[in-house]
Structure 1
Amino acid sequence: MARSLDGLVLSPVADQAPGQVGTRTRFDYHERDGEIWADYAGGDVVRGHLVGTRAGDRLDFRYVQLKRDGTTSSGHCVSTVVELPDGRVRLEERWEWESQPGSGTSVVEQLPDHGTRRGPSD
């Protein structure tokens, strides 16, 4: 199994459709005993949360988000955890909206120099 996601900050490598997560979105991941969760924000997303499970290198979670225009949306995602040659983590994702039509794939990667969360004074 790849290393723990706990404390990692990840971001999409490319923008999705308008009103969705994009390269300015940051995911702050946590992991404990097979459970994963993250808070995220940035770009068109004011606040988002995901929660789910990890089995080996497979994540299975649901997400919900509030966008700048005041609308909310939710969906389901299955991701594969991949360790990059430089030691950073990549998530290769297949997602599907549950609150609206649409599905797709995306890739998020650990940001360089963001191995762990930094406190407000860092």
Structure 2
Amino acid sequence: MSDDPFDLDGRVFDLVSSTASRVDPEAPTRFRYHEARGVVWGEYVGDTVAEGRFVGTRDGARLTVSFVHALVAGEAVVSGAATSRIEPGDGGLRLVEDFEVDGVPQVSVCAEVRSPG
């Protein structure tokens, strides 16, 4: 990792809360991040997500990504865009995402996993 405290390369995060849906604490969605020169990409799986990918950019503590994922239940594919702020958290970083679903403001939070296994 670089000297940049918000560099996401090699970091792993678990979804810990979302106002838009229930989060399974035993098998949360897990996100694996890669970053090079401000370009961010990665993959995610778990809970209701069978397979997901994202790509975007980071500017300081602001992360903007486009994503697509397949749901475990059925053939549905979900795609969209999201903006998150990167914050110091307990034992690692947190990603706090503000978004809307059907015009209703929502918030999700991911916490860094220090021993991702």
Q: TM-score category by the smaller chain?
A: 0.7 to 0.9
Deviations 1:66-93 (A, max 9, x none): 001110011111111112253x010011
Amino acid at match of 1:51: V
Structure 2 equivalent of residue 7 of structure 1: 10
**Which 5+ residue runs of structure 1 have no aligned equivalent?**
none
Query: How much has 1:112 moved relative to structure 2?
Result: 3.1
Q: What is the alpha-carbon distance in structure 2 between the residues aligned to residue 47 and residue 74 of structure 1?
A: 12
**Which 5+ residue runs of structure 2 have no aligned equivalent?**
none
Mapped pair 1:80 → 2:82? no
Alignment of 1:1-122 (within 5 A): 2-14=5-17, 16-17=20-21, 23=25, 24-68=28-72, 69-86=74-91, 88-96=92-100, 101=102, 104-114=106-116
Which deviates the most, 101-110 or 47-56?
101-110
Amino acid at match of 2:106: G
The structure-2 alpha-carbon separation of the partners of 1:96 and 1:2, relative to structure 1 and needing over 3 Å to count, comes to: farther
Query: How much has 1:63 moved relative to structure 2?
Result: 1.0
Amino acid at match of 2:9: D
Q: What is the alpha-carbon distance in structure 1 between the residues aligned to residue 13 and residue 43 of structure 2?
A: 11
Deviations 1:16-60 (A, max 9, x none): 426xx7542110111110011110011111001111000011001
The TM-score normalised by the length of structure 1 is 0.77
| Percent identical | 33
User: Structure 1 segments of 4 or more deviating over 4 A?
Assistant: none
The TM-score normalised by the length of structure 2 is 0.80
CA RMSD of aligned residues (A): 2.1
Query: How much has 1:14 moved relative to structure 2?
Result: 2.2
Amino acid at match of 1:106: S
Q: What is the alpha-carbon distance in structure 1 between the residues aligned to residue 99 and residue 108 of structure 2?
A: 8
Structure (1/2) with the larger strand percentage: 2
Amino acid at match of 1:113: S
Amino acid at match of 2:14: S
